[in-house]
Homo-oligomer: A and B are copies of this chain.
Amino acid sequence: MDSTHADRSLEGRQGIDRRTFVHGAVAGAALVAADGVTSLFAATPREAIAAQIAAQHDATVKMLRDWIALPSIAAENLNFPAGPEYMARLAREAGFQKVEIIPTAGKAGVFATLDAGAATTLGIYFMYDVKQFDPAEWSSPPLEGRIVDKPGVGKVMVGRGATNTKGPQVALLAALHAFRAAGHTLPINLVLVCEGEEEIGSPNFREIVFKPEVEAALRKCVGVIIPLGNQDLDGGVQINLGAKGIVELELVSSGETWGRGPARDVHSSYAAQIDSPAWRLVQALATLKKADGFTPAVDGFFDLVKPLSPELKQILADAIPKRNEAAAKKAFGVKHWIADEPWAESLTRLVSQPTINIEGLVGGYTGPGGKTILPHRAVAKIDMRLVPDMTAKGTLALLKAHLAKRGFGDIEVNMTGGYDPTQTPADSRLVKAMAAAYRTNGIEPLLWPRLAGSWPGVTFTGAPLNLPAGQFGLGHGNGAHAPDEFWIVEAANPKVSGMDGAARSFVDLFYALA
Residues of A at the B interface (CB closer than 8 Å) are 2-4, 6-7, 74-76, 131-132, 200-201, 244, 246, 248-250, 255, 259-276, 278-283, 285-286, 289, 291, 293-294, 332-338, 346-347, 349-350, 353-376, 378, 381, 383, 385, 416-417, 451-454, 480-482
Contacts and interface: CB of A to CB of B under 8 A. Distances in A.
A48 to B, nearest CB: 39
B375 A261 contact: no
B362 A375 contact: no
One complex includes copies of this chain to the number of 2
Contacts of A260: 334-336
B75 A355 contact: no
A341 B439 CA distance: 74
B75 A369 contact: yes
Contact of A333 (B264, B293, B332): B264
A294 to B, nearest CB: 6
Given A278-B358, A357-B268, A358-B363, A255 B385 contact: no
A452 B293 CA distance: 36
Given A250-B370, A361-B378, A7 B293 contact: no
A451 B333 CA distance: 48
A368 to B, nearest CB: 5
Contacts of A293: 275-276, 279-280, 283
Contact of A294 (B275, B370, B372): B275
Contact of A358 (B367, B375, B385): B375
A273 B338 contact: yes
B365 A363 contact: no
A372 B273 contact: no
A9 to B, nearest CB: 15
Residue with the highest number of chain B CB atoms closer than 10 Å, among A357, A366, A368, A383: A357
The 7 closest A-B pairs by CB, nearest first: A263-B333, A75-B369, A360-B364, A286-B286, A360-B365, A269-B452, A271-B357
A320 B505 CA distance: 80
Contacts of A360: 278, 363-366, 370-371, 373, 375
Contact of A272 (B131, B255, B268, B452): B452
A383 B378 contact: no
13 contacts: A6-B266, A75-B370, A201-B370, A266-B332, A276-B294, A280-B293, A282-B282, A283-B293, A360-B366, A360-B373, A365-B381, A369-B416, A372-B481
Nearest to A363: B361
Contacts of A383: 268, 271, 370, 372
A253 to B, nearest CB: 10
B289 A337 contact: no
Given A263-B334, A269-B385, A360-B370, 20 more contacts: A2-B372, A4-B269, A6-B266, A266-B332, A271-B383, A272-B338, A273-B350, A278-B361, A279-B289, A283-B286, A283-B293, A357-B374, A358-B363, A358-B375, A359-B370, A360-B375, A364-B381, A366-B381, A369-B416, A370-B417
A413 B333 CA distance: 23
Nearest to A454: B269
Contact of A285 (B6, B282, B416): B282
A119 to B, nearest CB: 37
Given A244-B269, A481-B373, A332 B132 contact: no
A40 B280 CA distance: 65
Contacts of A261: 334
A474 to B, nearest CB: 21
Contacts of A76: 368-369
A200 B255 CA distance: 27
A272 B363 contact: no
A257 to B, nearest CB: 12
B267 A481 contact: yes
Contacts of A281: 361
B370 A381 contact: yes
Contacts of A481: 267, 371-373
